Amino acid sequence: MSLSESTTLEFKREYTSEINKSVVAFANTNGGTLYIGIADDGSIAGVQNVDSVLLTVSNSVRDTIKPDVTLFTNYLTEEMDGKTVLKIIVQKGTASPYYIASKGIRPEGVYIRQGASSVPATETAILRMIKDTDGEKYEDVRSLKQDVTFTEAVKEFESRNVPFGASQQKTLGIMNADGIYTNLGLLLSDQCIHTVKLAVFQGTVKALFKDRHEFTGSILKQLNDIYAYIDRYNSVRSEINGLHRTDTRDYPVEAVREALLNALVHRDYSFSDSTLISIFDDRIEFVSMGGLVKGISFDDMMLGVSVARNRNLANIFYRLMLIEAYGTGVPKIIQSYDGFSVKPQIEVTDNAFKITLPNTNVGTKMSTLTGKERAVLELFKDKQYIVRKDVETALPGSQALASRTLKGLVDKGEIRVIGQGKNTRYEIC
């Protein structure tokens, strides 16, 4: 009987741990047959204590290779030239890339067949196998990095009384059914490869840096660290009106929070570029990778329609009470600027999403408004227009006080007069 090694056939004179590499290679390529007890030249050596060797091989394949490849392997004994050999038939697996567990999903752990040899797969080939097996959805794909820790995630989950055991991690999509971490797990891990770059500029153009910082680690840690950093630049402006003081933040806290959550939860992590946050004297810009999810228009988004790009990540943020409900972020940002003459801007391209929050206290007339004038502007949250009686109700006092306050807002260009006499009403500019 003449035998020779090929892409789908390999010989081993005796059992060694190198056999696992061949099983991995067959499972990752087109399947194949491995004989133990046949030398490289095709001569039959046979296997002594074949039952013991079979048990050793099957245990090693089960314990050493991930994902579980046992369903795609079959062990037989065969008589050749009066000697017993062990025949291992390996089918092409459905969960490639298969890899040596101790080496991980990287070239030194993933093998493919090339001619009659089992060779390390390139990282490009590994990524292609993952994509072909797991699909396009980034957060569901198996992470190339498996040696990860969750120090910051554990803290966040514990602070919210949300369990974070292995079963919960599988339910949440942090690891798959085989116990392999997904890209979602990588995002939450301390070893997260995605970062946020924040820069503070002097003035209103990108000319002179005042400060810059790159935030790394778990995106849960990044969220907390970035918010605290921005808060340092979210100054409070105070206005004294008689015995009363009115404090106004440069940026509505709700707007900052929602813009930051949007940048982290809804960005397209298949792009490696960092999320960018730029703080100027008159605005904050949040730029994240990924345009609108397919099927959603700009108008849909503005109405609160939401299709999560990273559904499992959004679900985790929901469980941690970091977001209240899907689709509420953009409307909240818009609503937080009610009563201000400046408004947030949202820009979308095919591959990027930008939210600009204007400073309510710089370069706007709002910084010159009195507390009573601000109170009147608050009435427009629920009304398209107001009349003097509305102001008299909101500002208990004389009719003259209401008239003076309305006139002040008209003179400052915040509202305009529509009609005259008994039909006089006021609309916001």
Q: What is the average pLDDT across 280-307?
A: 83
pLDDT score of 364 more than 50 = no
250 and 332 part of one domain:
yes
What is the predicted pLDDT for the residue at 229? 96
Query: Using an 8 Å Cβ cutoff, are 100 and 126 in contact?
Result: no
Which of 311, 337, 358 is at the close of a domain?
358
CB-side neighbour CA atoms (13 Å) of 237: 15
Which of 358, 385, 404 is at the close of a domain?
358
Among the ranges given (267-276, 310-319, 410-419), the one the predictor scored with the smallest mean pLDDT: 410-419
213 and 343 part of one domain:
yes
Which of 105, 134, 163 is at the close of a domain?
134
Residue 299 lies in a domain: no
Is the sign of the CA dihedral 199, 203, 207, 211 positive or negative?
A: negative
What does the pLDDT look like over 163-182, one tens digit per residue?
Answer: 999 999 999 999 998 888 99
Residue range of the domain that includes 384: 369-428
pLDDT band, residue 361 (cuts 50/70/90)? confident
124 and 208 part of one domain:
no
Residue 225 CB burial class (10 angstroms; 0-12, 13-18, ≥19): middle
pLDDT score of 365 more than 60 = no
Query: Using an 8 Å Cβ cutoff, are 87 and 170 in contact?
Result: no
380 and 333 part of one domain:
no
Nearest to 216 by CA among 244, 186, 257, 239: 186
What is the predicted pLDDT for the residue at 90? 96
18 and 114 part of one domain:
yes
339 and 391 part of one domain:
no
Question: Residue 56's domain is classified under what CATH number?
Answer: 3.30.950.30
Full strand arrangement of the beta sheet holding 415-418: 385-386, 425-428, 415-418
What is the Cα–Cα distance from 381 to 385, expressed in whole angstroms? 10
What is the predicted pLDDT for the residue at 241? 61
Q: What is the average pLDDT across 39-60?
A: 92
104 and 208 part of one domain:
no
112 and 215 part of one domain:
no
What is the Cα–Cα distance from 112 to 36, expressed in whole angstroms? 19
Q: Identify the DSSP state of 6.
A: B
Residue 285 lies in a domain: yes
Question: Residue 417's domain is classified under what CATH number?
Answer: 1.10.10.10
Residue 339 lies in a domain: yes
What is the predicted pLDDT for the residue at 368? 60
- DSSP string over 99-155: EETTT-SSTTT-EEEETTEEEEPPHHHHHHHHHHHH-S-GGGSBPS------HHHHH
83 and 205 part of one domain:
no
Residue 387 lies in a domain: yes
Mean pLDDT of the chain: 89
Residue 224 lies in a domain: yes
Question: Residue 288's domain is classified under what CATH number?
Answer: 3.30.565.60
pLDDT score of 215 more than 50 = yes
260 and 395 part of one domain:
no
Residue 415 lies in a domain: yes
Domain count of the chain? 3
